[in-house]
Copies of this chain bind each other. A is one copy, B any other.
Amino acid sequence: MTEKAFQDFYPDNLSHCYGCGRLNENGLHVRSFWDGDETVCSFSPRPYHTAIPGFVYGGLLASLIDCHSTGSASAAAYRAENRPMGSEPPIRFVTASLKVDYLRPTPIEGPLLLRSRFDEIGRRKVIVRTDLFVGDLLCVQGQVVTVRLRDEGSPATDLGSHDRTA
C-alpha cells in the first residue's frame, strides 16, 4: 500500500507502540486511513490470535480499536486545525478510557474492518466510536475517549496528569 497511514506520520519517539508503532518489530502495525468523514482500518489476525478456535481473541480486538482510535483522533485534530498530517508540532492522543462490546464471536478467517466516526472533536478530548466488521457482519463495537498529549517531549508527565473528564 503506497498511501500513507495516520501512523506513518507519528514522530519516531512516539512510534514504538506495540499496537501501531512502525518501529516496534514485534507489534501489530495498525494502519488507519480516512474514508470521507469516517476512518477505516483493515487487519488480518494471525492464526494464533484465537479466543476459541475459529474466532478472534477479544483482547486483540480491543487493541485494534484502541490504536485505531488514537490515530483517528490525531487525524481529526489535524483536520480540525486545517493542518497537514505530520506538520510540527505533532498532535498525538492517548487513551483515557476504552469500552468494547462483543456482540458476537468474530470469525478469524476474514480481514477485520474497523470503521469509526467521531462523537466529539474537542481541543483536548476526542471521542471515537467504532464498528468492527468481518464482511458485512457487525461483530464488535467500541468507544474510546482519547486525550491530547500536551507536549511531545514529555508524554509521561502529561499522561500522568491528564484530566480524564477534560
List A residues at the B interface (Cβ < 8 Å). 13-14, 16-19, 21, 24-27, 46, 48-55, 57-60, 62-64, 66-67, 94-105, 155-156, 159-160, 164
Contact = CB atoms under 8 A, between A and B. Distances in A.
- Number of copies of this chain in the oligomer? 2
Residues of A contacting B: mostly: mixed
Contacts of A27: 48
Contacts of A100: 62, 97-99
Contacts of A64: 59
Contact of A17 (B16, B50, B62): B50
Contacts of A156: 52, 54-55, 105
Most buried by B among A18, A55, A99, A164: A18
B97 A99 contact: yes
A56 to B, nearest CB: 9
The 8 closest A-B CB pairs, nearest first, are A59-B63, A18-B57, A26-B48, A62-B62, A105-B159, A98-B100, A52-B155, A104-B160
